[in-house]
Structure 1
Amino acid sequence: MPLARRLILTTALLLAACSPALNWRVVALADAPLDLMLPCKPDRAVRDVAWGAQTLTVSMVGCQAGGATYALAHVALAQPQDAATVLTDWQKALHQQLQRTDAWQPLPGQAFVLPGTLELPQARQLQWQGRDGQGQTVYANARWFARSEGPQVRVYQALVLSPGPLAAEALQSFVKGLQLR
């Protein structure tokens, strides 16, 4: 993305989401072609995760601000045909982590397709209420999407967890800040 366009986008998002608790900034991922907006200084982590019969390296970036956790995780898949399964598995894992009492089934959600991403039925956005590890109410706003990168596919999860409904401006800033390079 040209520098001028990035500066205009950053300025617009900052003005739209001004809040003393939120200090929005552009974060460029070093290991994936994506920039995102976070309302605080990010922490980064990489870890290997057992995923079915394979081990995948998951990269994460995120922070906490205004009582909410903003995070983005991604994984590169050597087998592009695995993207739909990984998206579904990721949604199921979050469903279980947030202690939903209903049996797993894909929750109704809207398609989520950024320009340049794959149009998969599993690429979607969802919002729901669950419980965290301490049994406290948590609101989840999640987006899953995938993008071809040469012979592989990269799968992403963008997530905001908050103790109450998140301000629409903060969520919009986070989602609109997802910019593929």
Structure 2
Amino acid sequence: MSGLLPLGACAPALDWREGRVADAGLQFVLPCRPDHHERTLPLAGAPVTLQMQVCEADGQTFAISAADVGEPARVGPALLALHAAFERNLGLAAAAAAAAASAPGWQPSGATPQPAAGRWPLLGKTPAGETVHAQLALAAHGTWVVQATVLARRPLSTEATQAFTEGLRFAP
């Protein structure tokens, strides 16, 4: 596993391990043992079951969320809805959302190309007004949508966020 990650990402506080969302064909790495959660929520006009794996390491929270939206026509709107919801949670204004939407595209290996997929660095606020540094990555595979996020109250570790997003891939 260490051959996949930059040396800086192998800091003692980061214990990288592989994980999967088998139904989605998604493979990923997290720097800590994740807690697993599921919840049903409306996404792109229909309820979906969102599978989440979340952990905290070195003052940063890492999360992978995946949901099957069931129909190819709902994938793009679902990615846009996930993006908008994440920005709302960070307290970002519409102007910041528009600027973030123009960020260059990014896709993990094996992903289904989607215009709404990509990776964005964001800076927001908690409800208490504290600064939150974040990275949002969105991708799709078939009818599955995936959101990968990193959050911290300090600037994010470039090495850890790079290892995290580069560790996302879909099985062929």
TM-score (norm 2): 0.89
Q: 8 Å contact 2:69–2:78 — kept in the other structure?
A: no
Aligned in 2, Cα 1:120/1:28: closer, same or farther, shift over 3 Å? Answer: closer
Distance (whole Å) between structure 2 residues aligned to residue 26 and residue 43 of structure 1: 14
CA offset digits 1:3-38 (Å, max 9, x no partner): xxxxxxx12245621212111111122443111111
Aligned in 2, Cα 1:15/1:99: closer, same or farther, shift over 3 Å? Answer: closer
The counterpart of 1:177, out of the listed 157, 167, 170, is: 167
1:54 deviation in Å? 1.8
Q: 8 Å contact 2:24–2:141 — kept in the other structure?
A: no
Q: 8 Å contact 2:6–2:159 — kept in the other structure?
A: no
Unaligned runs of 5+ in 1: 1-9
Identical residues among aligned pairs (%): 32
- Corresponding position of 2:127: 133
Give matches, 1:132-171, under 5 Å: 132-148=126-142, 153-171=143-161
1:82 deviation in Å? 0.9
1:65 deviation in Å? 0.6
- Corresponding position of 2:98: 105
Distance (whole Å) between structure 1 residues aligned to residue 99 and residue 40 of structure 2: 25
SS in 1 for 2:24: coil
How many residues are aligned here? 168
- Corresponding position of 1:68: 60
1:52 deviation in Å? 5.2
Unaligned runs of 5+ in 2: none
- Corresponding position of 1:121: 115
Distance (whole Å) between structure 2 residues aligned to residue 57 and residue 82 of structure 1: 14
- Corresponding position of 1:96: 88
Distance (whole Å) between structure 2 residues aligned to residue 106 and residue 147 of structure 1: 25
TM-score (norm 1): 0.85
Q: In the alignment, residue 98 of structure 2 is paired with which amino acid?
A: Q
Distance (whole Å) between structure 1 residues aligned to residue 130 and residue 63 of structure 2: 19
- Corresponding position of 2:50: 58
Larger Rg: 1
1:106 deviation in Å? 5.9
Aligned in 2, Cα 1:82/1:37: closer, same or farther, shift over 3 Å? Answer: same
